[in-house]
A and B are shown apart, each in its own frame.
Chain A
Amino acid sequence: MKPSPFEISRPGTLDAAREALRDEAHGTKVISGGQSLGPMLNLRLARPSRLVDVTGLPGLAEIRKTETHVEIGAAVTHARIEDGEVPDPIPGMLRHVAAGIAYRAVRNRGTIGGSLCHADPAADWVTAMIALDAVLVVRGGGGAREIPMSGFMLGAYRTAMKDDEILTTVRIPRYSDQARWGYYKICRKVGEFADAIAAFVADPERRTCRVVFGSTSGAPFVSTELARQIATTGAAVPLDAVKSVLRDSGLNLSEVKIHQLAIAHSRAVTEALSDA
């Protein structure tokens, strides 16, 4: 199999990259690691006439730690995160999530920014970054703007980014040493698209708690109700109660999906709250 012909440009600056995108917005696609787009190109499900490779843009492979945040360049690979190159905003969570993405050969090329922009409902970072309350910095015609992760993904493969915007940085707040996290996904085979993903992050010092469900039919589902219940009691919510929240979510989930999501959630929370 061979992709449809495409031209490739490797702009050296963000402005040049945006120019290349604006040039032919409808036949042009940004490519980063290409580990999701590549299969679509080979299958000819995607047939862009031009690809704009953003992996060489200045700053996109950088990792920074500030007083309040950890900042990850959009073109940082999953493998670098798995290997601990990124300072922990919360101990161990990023490494755990990264290590569970597809396979090592894919993680060596796939990037966090590419995964977020691709916005596959079953992808790990879209769920994990909502749980961590990350903010995405995108660069467009009017300069840089920030998009909170909770409003970034609009649906399957749809995001709040405009055609000529480029994601440059993922900013994750640094959590206190009291923070707890849990992350669990159900896959039929290691590395396959997940059937259900659940993330939990709670920080008593920041007084924030997030409960997120991923691998639904669109953007991850955030339950403030479950988050409040767990934060105030310090205990997991019974499975039946979790299921009824999912049933009332308006997401029209099948009973099988509800069960898988509820199980993933209870395992994530149990893991997060255990003192072992």
Chain B
Amino acid sequence: MPETLILTVNGEACTVTVAPRTQLAEVLRDHLDLTGTHLGCEQGVCGACTVIMNGKPVRSCITYAHTCDGAVIETIEGHRGDPVMDQLRDAFSRHHALQCGFCTPGMLATAHDIVTRFDAADEATIRHELSGNLCRCTGYVGIVGAISEVIAAKGATSAPPAPLRNVKPFTPFDPVEAAAVPAASAAPKGSVSTDGGWTVVKRSFALNHAPDAVWALFRDPARVAPCIPGATVDSLDAENFSGAVEIRFGPIRARFGGRGTYANDDNARAGSIRGEGNDKLGKSTVRGELRYAIAAGTNPQTSRAEVELRFEIDGMLAQFNRPELVTGFVNYILAQFAANCDAVLSGGEAGPAKRLSVFAMLWAVLKARFSR
């Protein structure tokens, strides 16, 4: 439902009616024709879209319409009569602090904030403060020089005070652990590595049933798929499958639909699944291969599953492909998968399909894998 915002942009009152998902950058560029604000990464990293809102720099790409009602905004087209911005523009020009100019609107907004907050700043401090604005021409020397000059012109000499710290002598003591801290749950053993563009996750986990029974489950996609959190199978024959996996990982939601092939070797109690799928709404694709083998466990009534998952993700999800998140996600999924397998082997049912997850990769995998 569109909402009407009243805001002051570059000293002028404006009224715009936009949908709630509208970014401040879009309000400025598409509704007010102020195209000096540039959009680069649109995920808060590059700093190109930085504008001054209520006196403070903000990312206009991740600031949405609903927070802008009543706001006072200055863009690169504005700052009229602002002596700090006049000095910065002049200094940027003299220091040749812009090349292609794409980052410049954001650089000037951040520079204005640095000059305002710091009475004195050395080059390291300026570079630190400027780290959220990327210049792909790499023209930082001129930019830092320009900011430095404007700060120096303030004529202040005092550096910002260092945070207070206790310097009383430290007396060793016998600590009382107030609250019990929960021990880390035992994660499955394994490793995560990369091989070219592929991520390779190896995991080994125990199941409380004999290898024959576990293998009978693993070799049958129709039975094992329901053990995979979020997986559904649409079609299945002796070699091929198609289906989907729904992923929930924190705020992330994705539904990967796809197809693939699988093969099992009953003698070796090993098999593999290859597949690929895509998340249409999120524009991500994932390709993966899952290999699995079932071995005897520590006693005849238990088994050990060795799993190797190789996957490659393209698209939006790849932006979040941080190894530690992949690891955390894999561990979480495997724990649920193993619990579901044990439940099914004990004659019960897999828990309610939990859509977890994150990484499509796994996804792919899992999905693929167990999924049929």
Q: Which residue of chain B is the closest to A53 with respect to CB atoms?
A: B66
Report yes or no: B64 in contact with A155, Cβ–Cβ below 8 A: no
In the complex, A112→B177 CA distance in Å?
A: 26
Q: Is A66 an interface residue (CB 8 A)?
A: no
- Greatest chain A CB density within 10 A among B58, B59, B63, B169 is at B59
Residue interface mask A183-204, B partner, CB < 8 A = 1: 0000001110100000000101
Known contacts A46-B253, A103-B47; is-contact A155 B328 (Cβ 8 Å): yes
Interface residues of B in 152-189 (CB under 8 A from A): 163-179, 181-189
Complex contact B253–A47 (CB within 8 A)? yes
**Main secondary structure on A side of the interface with B:** loop
Contact between A104 and B57, CB atoms less than 8 A apart = yes
> When the two chains form their complex, are residues B167 and A275 in contact, meaning their CB atoms are under 8 A apart?
yes
Report the minimum CB–CB distance from B189 to chain A (whole Å).
6
Does B1 lie at the interface of the complex (its beta carbon under 8 Å from any beta carbon of A)?
Answer: yes
B252–A251 touching, CB < 8 Å:
no
With beta carbons under 8 angstroms apart, the residue of B64, B131, B181, B328 that contacts A34 is B64
Given contacts A104-B129, A208-B178, A234-B172, whether A45 and B320 have CB atoms under 8 Å apart is yes
CB distance from A27 to the nearest CB of B (A): 9
Contact of A46 among B110, B176, B251 (CB under 8 A): B251
Interface string of B220-259 (1 = CB under 8 A from A): 0000000000000000000000000000011111100000
Interface presence of B113 (CB below 8 A): yes
Within the assembled complex, what's the spacing in Å between the Cα atoms of A45 and B182? 31
Binary contact readout A127-148 vs B (1 if CB under 8 angstroms, 0 otherwise)? 0000001000000000000001
Question: B184's closest neighbor in chain A, by CB?
Answer: A250
Count of B residues near A, CB < 8 Å? 81
Interface 1/0s, chain A 75-98, versus B by CB < 8 A?
000010000000010111001100
In the bound complex, do residue B182 and residue A151 qualify as a contact, i.e. CB atoms below 8 Å apart?
Answer: yes
Residues of the B chain whose Cβ atoms lie less than 8 Å from the Cβ of A8: 20, 64, 66
Q: How near does chain B come to A75, taking the closest CB pair, in angstroms? A: 12
Closest CB in chain B relative to A234 CB, distance in Å: 4
Known: A47-B253, A91-B166. A105 touches B50 (CB 8 A): yes
Q: Say yes or no: B132 contacts A105, CB within 8 Å.
A: yes
Given contacts A3-B21, A45-B320, A204-B173, contact A103 B249 (CB under 8 A): no
**In this assembly, does B192 line the interface, its C-beta being within 8 Å of a C-beta of chain A?**
yes
Tell me, yes or no, whether B99 is within 8 Å of chain A by CB. no
Instruction: Assess A103 versus B131: contact at CB under 8 Å? Given A43-B316, A178-B168, A207-B175.
Output: yes
Q: Are B328 and A133 touching (Cβ within 8 A)?
A: no
Q: CB distance B164 to A91 under 8 Å? A: yes
A95 contacts B175, CB within 8 Å? no
Question: Quick one: closest A residue to B43, CB to CB?
Answer: A39
Q: How far, in Å, is B179 (CB) from chain A's closest CB?
A: 5
B-chain residues with CB within 8 Å of residue A191 when the two chains form the complex = 131-132
A166 to chain B, nearest CB (A): 16
Q: Which of B296-346 contact A (CB under 8 A)?
A: 316-317, 319-320, 322, 324-325, 327-329, 331-332
* A227 surroundings in chain B (CB, below 8 A): 175, 177
Chain B residues with CB under 8 Å of A232's CB are 172-175
Task: Report the Cα distance A43→B322, complex, angstroms.
Answer: 16
Most A-side CB within 10 Å, residue of B170, B171, B190, B249? B170
Chain A residues positioned under 8 Å from B113 (CB to CB): 104-105
Query: Is A38 a contact partner of B64 (Cβ separation < 8 A)?
Result: yes
Checking A53, A217, A276 against B67 with a beta-carbon cut-off of 8 angstroms, the contacting residue is A53
B42 touches A1 (CB 8 A): yes
* Cβ-based interface call for B61 (8 A): yes
A6→B110 CA distance, assembly (Å): 30
Closest to B251 in A: A46
B216 contacts partner chain A, Cβ-Cβ < 8 Å:
no
- Once bound together, how far apart are the Cα atoms of A158 and B280, in whole Å? 25
Do A39 and B44 touch across chains, with their CB atoms under 8 A apart?
yes
What is the bound-complex CA distance between A234 and B325, given in angstroms? 35
Is A64 on the interface with B (CB-CB < 8 A)? no
Contact of A118 among B44, B181, B250 (CB under 8 A): B250
Give A236-271 interface residues, CB cut-off 8 Å to B. Answer: 249-252, 254, 257
Q: Which 5 A-B pairs have the closest CB atoms?
A: A157-B250, A103-B132, A38-B62, A92-B163, A39-B43
Give 23 CB contacts A-B under 8 Å: A5-B21, A34-B62, A34-B63, A40-B320, A47-B281, A48-B251, A102-B44, A102-B132, A105-B58, A118-B251, A122-B322, A202-B175, A204-B170, A217-B187, A217-B327, A217-B331, A222-B181, A232-B173, A234-B171, A250-B183, A250-B184, A252-B190, A275-B170
